[in-house]
Amino acid sequence: MRILLYNPDNGVTRNFMPHLWMFLLQALTPPGHEVLLIDGNAKPMHEAQIAQFVRDQNIGLVGIGAMTRMVARAYRMADAIRATGVPVVMGGPHVTEEADEALGRDGGPRHADAVALGEADETWPQIVEDAVRGELKETYAPVDATGKERKPSLNPYPAIPWDKLDLGQFNLVPKLLHPLLKNFRENWGTFRIVPVESGRGCPYGCEFCTVTGFFGDSIRFRTNESVVNELLLLKARARREQGQIAVFFIDDNFAINVKRTKSLLRDIIAAKAQVFWVAQISANLLRDEELVDLMAASGGKWIFIGMESVDPVNLKDVNKGFNKPSEYAAVLERLAKRNIYAITSFIFGMDNDTPGVAERTLQQVRTWPPGLPIFGLLTPLPATPLYKRLEAAGRLTRPRHWKDFVPFTMAHTPLKMTIEEAHAELNYGWAHSYSPEALAQAVAALDDQHVGDRVNVFLARLCFRGIYFPMLTKSSWLRVVVENRRTILRLFKEGVFRWMRPRNSASQDSFDVATPNVSGEGNA
């Protein structure tokens, strides 16, 4: 049977990074089937196109995965596919919580023939076999022989053949530049960000987050060996392509078990499997100097930190009191000292927020080493404790907000400001962090750093700007380039100057980091 796995586009990230679930399920598909993957972010399609594709390619089963914000689009695509007579199975965090909606058991239209509840690593082979026999069940749940919920072990973990997969859709270097850049310094002919998981689960149970409910509070890890082998495979691919690969460790809290993380990072270093990497780690776990040394030495470059708020009352309200705003600066400086920068994520519209919250937050941000501040609105995702609390209090203004998804729009009324005021705060946060002046300041604040690090921060800021200010067209990019021309020119001049200087062994222009000494501070 030919199977299509499809992820709808989110309208923001384009081909930034593939979705792991697709590659994982592809690797877990029983032999004898061919699995095609389409990520709508890299290959946009509308309903008629996907239906035509399914017909032309003689597809026998389609699997669709989606977050809440993309589910309405996922349903539309599913409807178009089902109209061709091909069955659709849906999975992922949204339909796990809203299976009745997907199956039309809530009185609405049916969008899926079957729903894979929760983690589908063990149920997927069964789904495929049932589909072959034309006997799909409505739901598939990961349970043991006694019917009790079972979380799949990550040991053994399927080998994803990253060295052979077609990743043509996920090259961040424009094709035109390939011939020029493939021989530039350590080869930049291609640049891909690849998702790798080293573990699943987070026990912290923040009120707005789906992770503790979905993956459970039992944390599971892959073996160090299996992660290291995956990195080596990716590194070999990058070398072959005369390009670079960076890894996004998509674990929800990469250092949730600090001892294990240190041991993994040591093994990565020992195997010379370093690539530059990004990971999500909560601020409270970044107090450990040795951990941060190892992060730098193993290729760590960007850490996503869910800071959420600079107000301890807000943090306590959402069960994230373990975040201590008073230590944010020290954490970020600890990272910056090792040339690791932070994506600091904030949520506005929390219950203790009042007008002016964005400026109050930015006043703190401006005192920190430059990074990537991002801002969102408190969003009641289905089945989260937050959703239940707001529903019980009658505060949901759009209880099924995902059915008519509008980006950056609140679905409940904050306590101490209006919805409109919350939206204005969000706009203020983005506008004042991503203006040409703010970008120039971020680069200037790193004047004592290697030009590569400044280019890294600048390019990342340009891309992150697109999360809030649409940058999907060539003309919108052109406009931003023109607005930021002074900073670009400055970095360009410095880059050319450095490039023309003779190379030395301390060059940091590559993701092929050398094995550094991890015994002291500030290495790598």
Chain residues in the site for ligand B12 (CB under 6 A): 10, 12-13, 17-21, 24, 63-65, 67-69, 89-94, 116, 119-121, 124, 195, 197, 209-211, 250, 252, 376, 381
* Max CA distance (Å), the chain: 70
Q: Which does 212 bind (CB under 5 to 8 A by kind): ligand SF4, ligand B12, none?
A: ligand SF4
- Strand 88-91: give its sheet, edge to edge: 34-39, 2-7, 61-65, 88-91, 114-116, 139-140
Q: Does 216 bind ligand SF4 (CB under 6 A)?
A: no
Token couple for 132: 């072959």
Peptide bond into 156 cis (omega under 30): yes
Long-range contacts of 436-440 (CB under 8 A, 24+ apart): 436/483, 436/484, 436/486, 436/487, 439/484, 439/487, 440/484, 440/486, 440/487
Q: Which does 376 bind (CB under 5 to 8 A by kind): ligand B12, ligand SF4, none?
A: ligand B12
- By beta-carbon proximity to ligand SF4, the closer residue of 112 and 310 is 310
Three-state secondary-structure class, residue 41: coil
* β-pairing verdict for 244-249 and 191-196: parallel
* Distance in angstroms (rounded) separating the CA atoms of residues 323 and 311: 10
Select from 61, 154, 160, 202 the one that contacts ligand SF4 (CB under 6 A): 202
- By beta-carbon proximity to ligand SF4, the closer residue of 282 and 484 is 282
- By beta-carbon proximity to ligand B12, the closer residue of 91 and 349 is 91
Three-state secondary-structure class, residue 38: strand
Q: Shortest distance, CB of residue 302 to ligand B12, whole angstroms?
A: 11
In a 13 Å sphere around the CA of 222, the CA atoms on its Cβ side amount to 20
- By beta-carbon proximity to ligand B12, the closer residue of 94 and 235 is 94
Q: Does 209 bind ligand SF4 (CB under 6 A)?
A: yes
Q: Shortest distance, CB of residue 79 to ligand SF4, whole angstroms?
A: 32
Q: Shortest distance, CB of residue 320 to ligand SF4, whole angstroms?
A: 6
Asked if residue 120 lies in contact with residue 140, where contact means CB atoms within 8 angstroms, the answer is yes
Q: Which does 465 bind (CB under 5 to 8 A by kind): ligand SF4, ligand B12, none?
A: none
Q: Shortest distance, CB of residue 24 to ligand B12, whole angstroms?
A: 5
Token couple for 38: 């389409």
- By beta-carbon proximity to ligand SF4, the closer residue of 60 and 118 is 118
Q: How large is the C-alpha radius of gyration of the chain?
A: 23
Token couple for 15: 């081909």
Three-state secondary-structure class, residue 265: helix
What DSSP assignment string belongs to 106-135?
Answer: TSS----SEEE-S--TTTHHHHHHHHHTT-
Select from 154, 211, 335, 386 the one that contacts ligand SF4 (CB under 6 A): 211
Q: Which does 435 bind (CB under 5 to 8 A by kind): ligand SF4, ligand B12, none?
A: none
Q: Which residue matches tokens 């000494």?
A: 517
Residues 434-453 that bind ligand SF4 (CB under 6 A): none
Consecutive H or E run containing 305: strand 300-308
Token couple for 45: 């399609």
- By beta-carbon proximity to ligand SF4, the closer residue of 206 and 227 is 206
Residues 274-333 that bind ligand SF4 (CB under 6 A): 282, 306
Q: Shortest distance, CB of residue 205 to ligand SF4, whole angstroms?
A: 6
Q: Shortest distance, CB of residue 243 to ligand B12, whole angstroms?
A: 19
Using CB under 6 A, count the residues that bind ligand SF4: 11
- By beta-carbon proximity to ligand B12, the closer residue of 210 and 339 is 210
Q: Shortest distance, CB of residue 195 to ligand SF4, whole angstroms?
A: 16
**Site residues, ligand SF4 (CB under 6 A):** 202, 204-206, 209, 211-212, 252-253, 282, 306
